[in-house]
Amino acid sequence: MLITAKIAVIAHNVSVPLYKHRSKEFSDRMYFMAKRFDGVHIISKERNISDKDRIPVKDELAPNLVVHKVHNGLVSSNLDILRVVRDVGADAIFADGIGHAVSSILCKRKCGIPLVTFIHGFEADLKAIRLKLKLGLKPTPGLLSKILAVYDAIVLRASDEVLCVSPGLVEYARKLVPRKDWNKIKIIPQSFEYVKYVPKEAAMWADDVTYSLKTRNKHEVLLITVIGMGATKGTDIALRTHKYIAEKKPGAVMIAVSKTINPKYVRMAKELKLKNNALFLQNLPRDQLLALLSHSSILLCPSFSEGFSRAISEAMVLGVPVVAYVNKSLTDAVSKGAVVGVRTTNPKDYARECISLIRGEKLREELIQKAKGYIRPLVLFPEKKRFELICHNIDQVLSTRR
């Protein structure tokens, strides 16, 4: 049933047409919302835009879905969002993250319309980690995270509804708002139903990649996959970890997959003498990434900026053991034996855990079974049901204003 309401969605760097967007989950979610509401206006905060970019663009697959590009600056984005919301006559704001909700608070107060905030991670922790890395400090959240959480608290208290992707985030949000407002905090679980359906073409491509590595190395290979690249992703730790692994297991090949490849990490791999033990792949389609991951022996995730990420969840579904840096999002999975957690930034500690999994078949199998059991509810939870829950919660907020 089509709901008569216009929704302003605040996001970041949105591609047009939307099906070309880097996040398939986001584009699918927006197309679903366009089927439920008679108007969806995505306000995309861009780093660099021209006057031509400011012209609203209709999506070719959904005429009632329009993308408006605005400046990303704190003051300019607030004013631009206010202008767009007034121009289109939006009935509610859907902020796709706490950072976007900040840019919506002025608009909410000026226009008197409800704000729904969708949180995907522990924002204060992520900000603290990025800042500490810039300052050359140890990348653990600590006291700085608690200070930055005040910022998150302001946003969540101003929101009429808070949607969280995990129980850990629900707990986080409850700590930041008064107990009387806990009823506005809802969980919208992630869905990994799609991981079960890897296209045949993608599987064949991954087979070819694996075969070429075997040919190049002239023996069987063990794939250690790393997804994402950068200082907050712990790429330097991953490479140094792999140096230790390759010394013990010459057939181990690290495949680093990222949207873009930073040349400094390619140089670093050469300096570590990993030329034949590292492969860098850029901007892979999701299907190919899943197919490649299914061939892997381990997913190595020393990232500080990830929560309970899609890559980790996908690996669990595919039966690939995960060795990851422990953060708040992963604490529960680690405590239940579904993920191997490392609490340090020492590459030797990551390497030790990886080698134990490579050598210990029983240990490996136990981890895989626990991981599959842990992630199973999210595999059985349909994506369509998830999108319906999001739309239902937006409609519930709207109904209180009608």
pLDDT, position 217: 66
pLDDT, position 278: 92
pLDDT, position 306: 64
Residues 6+ apart with CB under 8 A from 377: 189
pLDDT, position 211: 87
What CATH number was assigned to the domain covering residues 3-191+382-399?
3.40.50.2000
Q: According to the CATH classification, is domain 194-379 in 3.40.50.2000?
A: yes
pLDDT, position 334: 93
pLDDT, position 335: 93
Residues 6+ apart with CB under 8 A from 162: 116, 117, 119, 156, 173, 177, 184, 185, 186
The residue ranges of the chain whose pLDDT is under 70 are: 74, 217-220, 306-308, 402
Q: What is the spatial distance between Cα 123 and Cα 130, in angstroms, rounded to a whole number?
A: 11
pLDDT, position 317: 96
Q: Do domains 3-191+382-399 and 194-379 have the same CATH topology?
A: yes
The conformation of residue 89, written as its DSSP 8-state character, comes to: T
Q: What is the spatial distance between Cα 136 and Cα 120, in angstroms, rounded to a whole number?
A: 26
Residue with tokens 């653990």: 140
Please report, for the chain, the start and end positions of each structural domain, with discontinuous segments joined by +. Answer: 3-191+382-399, 194-379
b/e sequence 340-371, b meaning 16+ C-beta within 10 Å:
bbbeebebebbbbbbbebbeeeeebeebbebb
Would the pTM of this model clear 0.95, i.e. be above it? Answer: no
How do residues 106-120 score in pLDDT, each as one tens digit?
888 888 999 999 998
